Amino acid sequence: MKRQRKSKKILIYFFFLIIVSSINNLEFNSLKFHSVNDIRISGLSNVNKEILTQEIKSLNLENIFFLNANEVIEIINKNTLIEGYKIFKKYPSTIQIEIQKTNLLAKINKNGKIYLLGSNGKLSNNNLSNEDFPFIFGNPKIKEFLNLKNIISESKISYDEIENFFFYKSKRWDLELKNNILLKLPKTNVKVSLDNAHEFLKDKNFIDNKIIDIRIKDQIIVND
The reply to whether 177 and 210 lie within a common domain is yes
DSSP, collapsed to helix, strand or coil, labels residue 216 as: coil
CA distance 177 to 163: 5
Q: Which helix (H) or strand (E) holds 104?
A: strand 104-110
pLDDT number for residue 58:
83
Domain count, the chain: 3
18-46 residues labelled b (16+ CB within 10 A) or e (exposed) = eeeeeeeeeeeeeeeeeebeebebebbee
Residue 14 binned pLDDT confidence (cut-offs 50, 70, 90): very low
Average model confidence (pLDDT) for the chain? 83
Instruction: Return the number of other C-beta atoms located less than 10 Å from residue 178's C-beta.
Output: 12
Range with the lowest mean pLDDT among 8-17, 108-117, 179-188?
8-17
Question: How large is the average pLDDT for residues 214-220?
Answer: 87
How much is the pLDDT for 94? 84
Rounded alpha-carbon distances, angstroms, from residue 109 to 53, 135, 191: 30, 9, 26
The CATH number covering residue 53 comes to: 3.10.20
Are residues 151 and 78 part of one domain?
A: no
User: In DSSP terms, which residues pair with 41 in a beta bridge?
Assistant: 97
pLDDT, tens digit, 9 for 90 and up, residues 129-146: 888 999 999 999 999 999
Please tell me whether residues 42 and 16 are part of one structural domain.
Answer: no
Q: Which of 80, 101, 122 is the last residue of a domain?
A: 101
Give pLDDT, residue 28. 36
| CB within 8 Å of 37: residues ≥ 6 apart | 61, 93
| The domain boundary residue, chosen from 101, 120, 149 | 101
Residues 6 or more apart whose Cβ sits within 8 Å of residue 128: 81, 104, 116
Q: Does residue 7 have a pLDDT over 60?
A: no
Q: Does residue 44 contact residue 99 with C-beta atoms inside 8 Å?
A: yes
Report which residue type is found at 216. Answer: I
pLDDT digits (tens, 9 = 90+) for 194-212: 999 998 888 777 667 789 9
Residues 139 and 185 in one domain: yes
Between β-strands 221-223 and 211-213, what pairing exists: parallel, antiparallel or unpaired? antiparallel
Q: What is the mean pLDDT of residues 148-156?
A: 97
Q: What is the arithmetic mean of pLDDT over 115-139?
A: 93
* 62 SS3 class: coil
Question: In CATH, what number is assigned to the domain containing residue 157?
Answer: 3.40.50.11690
Q: Reply yes or no on whether the pLDDT at 87 is more than 90.
A: no
* SS3 of 63-79: CCCCCCHHHHHHHHHHC
| pLDDT for residue 133 | 96
Whether residues 78 and 116 share a domain: the answer is no
Q: Are residues 131 and 193 in the same domain?
A: yes
Report percent pLDDT > 90 for the chain. 56
Whether residues 22 and 128 fall in one domain: no
Statement: residue 107 has pLDDT above 90: yes
Q: Which domain range does residue 97 map to?
A: 38-101
What is the structure's pLDDT at 39? 87
Pick the last residue of a domain from 49, 75, 101.
Answer: 101
- Claim to verify: residue 62 and residue 85 sit in the same structural domain: yes
Query: Would you state the pLDDT for residue 224?
Result: 62
Where is pLDDT greater, at 147 or 63? 147
Residues 46 and 120 placed together within one structural domain of the fold: no
Q: How far apart are CA 139 and CA 195, in angstroms?
A: 26
Q: Cis (ω within 30 of 0) for the bond into 140?
A: no
Q: 124 and 212, same structural domain? A: yes
**87/12 same-domain check:** no
pLDDT tens sequence across 31-53: 444 567 788 999 999 999 999 99
Q: Are residues 42 and 25 in the same domain?
A: no
